[in-house]
Structure 1
Amino acid sequence: MTIEETAALVRQMQAGNTDAFDEIFAAYEQKAVRTAALICGEVPLAEDIAQETFVTCLLQIEKLQNPYCFSAWFFKILIRCAWKQTKKKQKLMPAEEILAEGAQGLPPVFDSYPSEQRAMYEKLYAAIDSLGQKQRTTLILYYFNDFSIKEIAQITSSLEATVKSRLFAAKAVCGRLWRRNTHSGRGNWFMKRDELDAMIQHAMEKQTEHVDANPMMLERIKREAASRERKERISMKLFTPKRIAVAAIVCFASVTCYAAVHFSGVESRTTIDVTSYAQLEKAEEKVGFDMKTVEAFTNGFTFVNGGTGEMYGQDENGNNIGDPYALMTLSYEKEGKTLVVTAQDGDPYADAGQEVSEGYSSHLYKFVPEGYELTAEDKEREMSGELIISYGTDEVMESVMEVYSWKDGDLFYSMTADNCDLGEEAMAQMAQEMQNA
């Protein structure tokens, strides 16, 4: 199916033509399941990943602004789902069980090859399988799906330089294998690089040639999508706290690596423990959920550091309510301006009995140390709604905070800009970039 044909079907889907989705499914089902199988290592889980990807595609197709970018958009959804499901499985099963089940899920396929060639391909695929998740995914997207560096950067929400680095590192592992098995030196390996590229592609295609989608998948996708649409209509509500990311931005604006900040109804504790974008995977393991992230926004804000922590709802006496919610924060900068995005796996404001809402807001905040005595002017401005007081900083400071909040799945997101003068439209676009990640 050509890009033009795909784009035409996407426009039909966005116009409500369900038959167009059937054609999209027929064109993508095999590649989707096989790509998922290469990432997760077993067929049943790959089918679940592909099915979830198609369900999301069907429900969110209206969000795709450029129909010509459908393929990259689709595989971005699939990759995120595959990473999430694989990580969830690793937490639930011991490593030896995962390896054993993976071996059953993708059985040996090189038995018919001559012994020397069979050994080569088996070791090559073992090397591919040994790669870290993001390096292996990059290799799969490049060789198996034939995506360009630029497209892979879009799919994985990474910089092109990061994609090149992952690809180079992954090929280096395969290159070392090649040299060991051909008994040739470094120079000889570089002469045969094209042949190695062909072998990597062939190994992936051969490993998945018998992996196909369940015949009932299309029916299951439509049934699940219809069920979720009904639930969404029934449970539509407003949600995310506006002040959560504001608490986090105080931490990132301070010189310490830890900060505890509280507002009426919520307390936040954050530790800056992520110093590079590559460390986010470990941070996600620490908080227990996968946060949708981008390394850089299209308007120039670029990742600087991040942190993990927790949030509590509080009663009127300042006592914590229930268990804490895990919190993850990302800090971005552009021309000296700071922007922080947070995600947490629960709503502490709901625990505190406060009404919260999604979308955009802009407020003047005054951050003060513990024990600070409000002036008469402070009290008057706070009562009028002109000023919001927050305790927990080392010194008194005022700042205009723009907040954009939304919910994605089970996670509550807030994006806060500190004196950036972005406006609602710009922040909505940035939030959309994260939702598409």
Structure 2
Amino acid sequence: MAVKGLKEETAKKWISENNRSWLEYDLTPDASRLVERLRCRVCSDERVRALRNYSNSFVEGITGSGMKKDNVKKHSRTEMHVKAIALSRGVKRTLSEIYSSTPLGKAFKKSNSDEESRVSKLIEISYMVAKEELPFSKFPSVCKTEKRHKVPLGTKYINEEKCSEFTTSIGQAFEDELVQELNQSPYITILTDGSTDASVRQSLKQTIIDAFQELGVKNMQNKLVGLCCDGASVNMGRNRGLAALLRQDSPWSQEASRTLAEVLGRLLGSKTYRMGSSRDWCYWTLLWPKNKESLTEFGKEELLQVKTHFDGLFQLHSVRTDALESEFTEMKLFWYSNLSHLSRADFWSAGYSILKTQYPNLLHVFIVLKLLPVSNAKVERAFSFMRRVKSDWRNSLSESTLNHLLRIDIDGPDFDDFDPSASVNMFFSDKVTRSGPAGVAGPSTS
């Protein structure tokens, strides 16, 4: 019958494709070397038989016209086969996984999924309230308007207290992301402002160190590139100012200065390096020499100054400073031969990936240059934000809530780019903590 159609060579080919080592076959008793039966080795596990969708077709083996490649593919995608593969590999299911596979568990999972969807929408509304610097009291009104538009928000979380909790979850999610970036980054720069009392110099330094340690960022001194602050003596005093105290542990750290701006201006290819303008990083190639010989010599003196100043910092990060000049020359010539036709923005949009793969030591130089303190405007904006938000009508805002609002306003993305998923996870993880031990609900705050 149809057995004559499936050769042993074909069955072997099916087995070798996509690593189907679980597929076995029996040959006919004659010398034709034709396949009589195909079966699945792993699905014969007794533990699989209890599944609701269990089928014994590939356990007993398929024969005749059923021995088709398409049927083999379909079987490999069945829930029964996937679980059998997991069992064969010794994958242990957790109690939660076992429970979620039961009818009650599936219903509970769907209920949780619906609640997560509602909370995600509510967190987006809370983010808008914070980003627009609105009081929490506006949250219920916005939610009621959305409900009139048939948005499923429920009734459980629509109050001012929950808006504050949502804001906390957003702020904590942002903080976790910041801590991760700080730990992964080899270098940092500090912006500070606000103190004019000379008696707090040493305590101000310790406050900065403690703040990093509380975030879990250790050895801040070994990452510090520079400090940006106002010109008050408590910050910029020659011997006992904050900058001088930080240089005791990080002697290479740099505060913004006109001399530095001039050095950067030449190194980065701009006659006037405007401190504080992020657009300058797109203009590095603007005035690079178009002559190959001149380009080879361009920036060597300025690179030497940067290398000398930050030599101690580079040594801490295992940078081969002896290779910087050659890598800088090779990078310029690579630009000259392959990328000089690109616009400045297009070149530097890919510039860091080029540096990372081809000029790893020079990459550290450009990261340090980008982190050099150039403007304290962001701190001034933070003060303006605090004056607007912590008004006479909101004077009871806690320090932590104010920090979360500040982080959202200053560092949060535009509303269209905000992804609430991390904040949703943060909210429900905090909710479990608030519920008390062993899942016993704690006191309600709503």
The TM-score with structure 1 as length reference comes to 0.21
Question: Structure 1 or 2: larger helix share?
Answer: 2
Q: Which has the higher contact order (CA 8 A, sep 6+)?
A: 2
Question: Structure 1 or 2: larger strand share?
Answer: 1
Task: Give 1 or 2 for the bigger CA radius of gyration.
Answer: 2
